[in-house]
Amino acid sequence: MVMPWLPPGYTMVLPGRGEVFYRHHQHGDPAAPTLLLLHGWTASADLQFFTAYEALAEHYSFVAIDHRGHGRGLRSPVRFDLVDVAEDAALLVQGLGIEQVITVGYSMGGPISLLLTQRHPELVRAIVVQATALEWRSKWWERLEWRTIHVLGPLLRSGVFPRWMRWGIRRILGPNHPLEQYVPWLASELQRNDTFSIVHAGQSLSRYDARIFASALRKPAASLVTTRDRLVKPRKQRALADALDAFVVELPDDHLSTWTSPDAFAKATVQLVQHVVG
C-alpha cells in the first residue's frame, strides 16, 4: 500500500482522560512558530492535512492531533463534546511544553480552534480557519437536517461501506488524479473511526454556535473560503471571517479541497499562516 510522507507519530496520556495520538514535526529553526492542526469531522489529522504536511514542514513546526473517536484518537466512554476536544488539544500543547501555537482548524477543527482560544487565550497566538462556520443551526431546516445524523451509524457499520468508500474516493478525485495511488490508504484510514463517536460529534456540531463570542477573541486571524462548498456554505464561511476580522484567501473548490486540489490547498494554507505570523 502506497503511503504519503507523514511526520513522526507519538502518543501521550492525558491525566484523567486517556491516550491521544499526535504527529509532531519540529523545524530546524527553534524560533519557527508552532502550528496546531485541528482536523474536521470524520477525518483524522493525516487525512485532513497530509497534502499540506511537506509545505508546512518547510517553514514551521507543527502538532497534528487525532480528535476523540477519529482516526487513532482517544477512546472515551464520555459522550463526544467539542469543549472536551478543545481541552484535549490544550492539554497536549501544555504537555509538550509549547508556549503558544497558531491554530489551523479545518471544518470541525474551526469550532475546536475557537473554543480552545476562548478557554485558553494565553496558548493561542493566532487563528487560521478553513472551510468552516460560526454556526450550523440558525435556520430551522439546518436543525432538522442534524436530527437525521443518527442514520450514519448503521451505514458506517455496514459490510459494504469499505467497498463503497474506495469507489466514492476514486469518483471524488476523478481520473488520473495525483492522489489516486493513495486511495487504499485513504480508505483504510477512514475505517479507524469509532462509529458512535462520529455520530455524537455530528450532534455536538449541531449545538455549536460561536456568534456570541467569536468577535471577542481578538486574535490575528485568517480564513480559507472554499467557494464551491456544498457542505459548509460560503456565506457561512464569510460570516465567520467577518466575525474574526480575518484575512481571506478563496479556493474555488468543494469541501474536500484538501484532496481534490492538494497543491492549491497547501499553498493557501502556507499563505494564511504567513499572514497571521507577519
- Walking along the chain (278 residues) 10 residues at a time, the average pLDDT comes out as 96 96 97 98 96 98 98 94 98 98 98 98 98 80 53 50 70 91 92 89 92 97 97 96 98 96 98 96
What are the two backbone dihedrals, phi and then psi, of residue 103, each rounded to the nearest 5 degrees?
Answer: -80, 140
Q: What is the pLDDT of residue 153?
A: 46
Contact (CB, 8 A) for 81 and 14: no
Provide the H-helix boundaries in 99-160: 109-119, 140-146, 152-157
Burial label for 120, CB within 10 Å (0-12, 13-18, 19+), is middle
Which stretches of the chain are assigned E, i.e. beta strand?
A: 9-14, 18-25, 34-38, 61-65, 101-106, 124-130, 221-226, 247-251
Question: Taking each helix axis from N to C terminus, what angle separates 161-173 and 183-190, rounded to the nearest 10 degrees?
Answer: 130
Q: How many CB atoms lie within 10 A of CB 168?
A: 14
The residue whose grid cell reads 491525566 is: 15
Beta bridge partners of 223: 129, 248
Domains, in order of start, for the chain: 9-277 (3.40.50.1820)
What are the two backbone dihedrals, phi and then psi, of residue 121, each rounded to the nearest 5 degrees?
Answer: -60, -25
Collect all residues with Cβ–Cβ distance below 8 Å to 36 and sequence separation of at least 6. Answer: 62, 63, 64, 65, 89, 93, 101, 102, 103, 104, 113, 116
Q: What SS3 class is residue 223?
A: strand
Q: What is the pLDDT of residues 72-116, one digit of tens each?
A: 999 998 999 999 999 999 999 999 999 999 999 999 999 999 999
Instruction: Give me the half-sphere count of Cα atoms (radius 13 Å) on the Cβ side of residue 264.
Output: 14
Answering whether pTM is above 0.75, one says yes
Write out the three cell numbers for 249: 484567501
